[in-house]
Amino acid sequence: MKEKELYTLTIDAYGMEGEGIAHEDGFVFFVPYAALGERVKVAVDRVKGKLVFAHIIKMLEPSPERRDPDCPLFGKCGGCALRHLPYDTQREIKTSNVRALFRKNVGIELGEIPFVGEGADGYRNKIALPFGVSDGEPTLGMYRRGTHKVLPLDRCPLHGKWIEPLIGAILSFVRERKISVYDEGSGKGLLRHLVARRLPTPNGCEYGVILVVNGAKIAGESDLADALEKALGGKVHLYLCENKLRNNVILSDKIRTIRGTDHLTASIGGGVAEVSPLAFLQVNFGIAERIYARVTESIPEGATVVDAYSGTGIMSALLAKTAERVVGIETIADAVRDANANAARFGVADKVRHLCGEVERLLPDLAPDLGDYTLVVDPPRAGLDPKVIDTILAYPPVRILYVSCSPATLTRDLARLQEKYSIDSVELFDMFPSTPHIESFCILSLK
């Protein structure tokens, strides 16, 4: 088996990333953007033992399920790998993959799994685009899958129409001013990335726009703010983020406000939160609110709750409407400041306090005063650090509510937590339609 060899395959299953899988000559082929039952001609990209990674070069017999993805970069940027499939099939793939991971990693067979999601477009409230050069002109776009080549983009169904005037205004400005684009090879050039959010507020919506540059300023900053407000038709908070490091990290903590305030405002969960422009927020508020509601209703009235990975404190503030006391733990100092302020904005400051530090360091000191507490964890994609799991098992809460954006790391962590915990329920929330990603919510009780 060699690279660039051609094979004709019949797709007989789906993989964990929603790719088509075929079995031929003792090899397992992984073929992105292929659908179950399709007959395809593929070229081999890479071989790893008996695993073969290939791409379609000719569709011989398409699936009757295949649909028009209606996206100019489908199959190129890798952002919506399931967009060619109907939503019912997307649900089946995600549910089946979660069930397989629980079987393999946790050793349990799940029955019916509740699934929340509608599959609508336009759900993403945040976009991050690299600058590039196309036909000698600055452009914004997506990286071609597996590369750092920028593919020009003017629309994206997952984000909705608000990004079209945003991109248009930015590119008109930088082309007229002849502002240079950063080159990864030489480390020269100014424009690196555009990061933007569209957030609902009590008065409509506001936009947070960050230009990431290889420097400290750009010419005509105030004019750009004017152009963005005119194009977007709403209040714009414009920031300049200085990043001179030669790495793949988009943002730095060197950020300056050009227009607007140092905080963004967002209506979520029945309240209004303020967050710093660099803060993490869920990209799909509709599903995020459904998760927050489900977690909150799983808290016993009058409980003591520890909200690990509490971020800007939105979930903590919502939990306090049921709980008697909430302690948030977060490692980022700016997020802790946002969280304590948000507790006041939600009217629960008397029941919530946020601490800065690691869970494994703070929980042992807190535990003696917590009683029979409930632990809420919503870690990043990497899941719980082994030290955190050690600490949980040493100072066990009576209940764990685990929100996860990665079924793989979730099931890895549950395998260890099973030492002292029973898994009472598993539910899925589709935060990312048209992609293979899925959000999970599990309730665990102390044995």
Give the dihedral of Cα atoms 239, 240, 242, 246; nearest 10 deg: 100
Distances (CA, A) of 64 to 61, 68, 86, 266, 387: 9, 11, 11, 42, 49
Contact 282, 403 (CB under 8 A): no
**What are the backbone angles phi and psi of residue 152, rounded to the nearest 5°?**
-55, 140
Instruction: Single out the residue of 284, 329, 285 nearest to residue 311, CA to CA.
Output: 329
Residue among 345, 382, 201 at smallest CA distance from 285 = 201
Q: Output the DSSP codes for 163-194.
A: HHHHHHHHHHHHHHTT--B--TTT---SEEEE
Give me Rg for the CA atoms of the chain.
24
- The active-site residue, picked from 80, 205, 241, 405, is 405
Under 8 Å between Cβ of 38 and 20: yes
The two beta strands, 264-268 and 271-275, are: antiparallel
The number of beta carbons lying within 10 Å of the beta carbon of residue 281 is 19
How many residues in total does the chain contain? 447
The Cα 270–Cα 290 span in angstroms is: 12
Residue 442 annotated as catalytic? no
Q: Tokens 């695993």: give the residue.
A: 51
Q: How far apart are the C-alpha atoms of 270 and 262, rounded to whole Å?
A: 23
Angle of the 163-176 helix axis to the 221-232 helix axis, nearest 10: 150
Token pair, residue 370, equals: 């917590």
Contact between 189 and 166 (Cβ < 8 Å): no
3-state class of 315 per DSSP? helix
CA distance 70 to 91: 20
Give the Cα separation of 175 and 163 in Å (integer): 18
Q: Which residues are catalytic?
A: 405
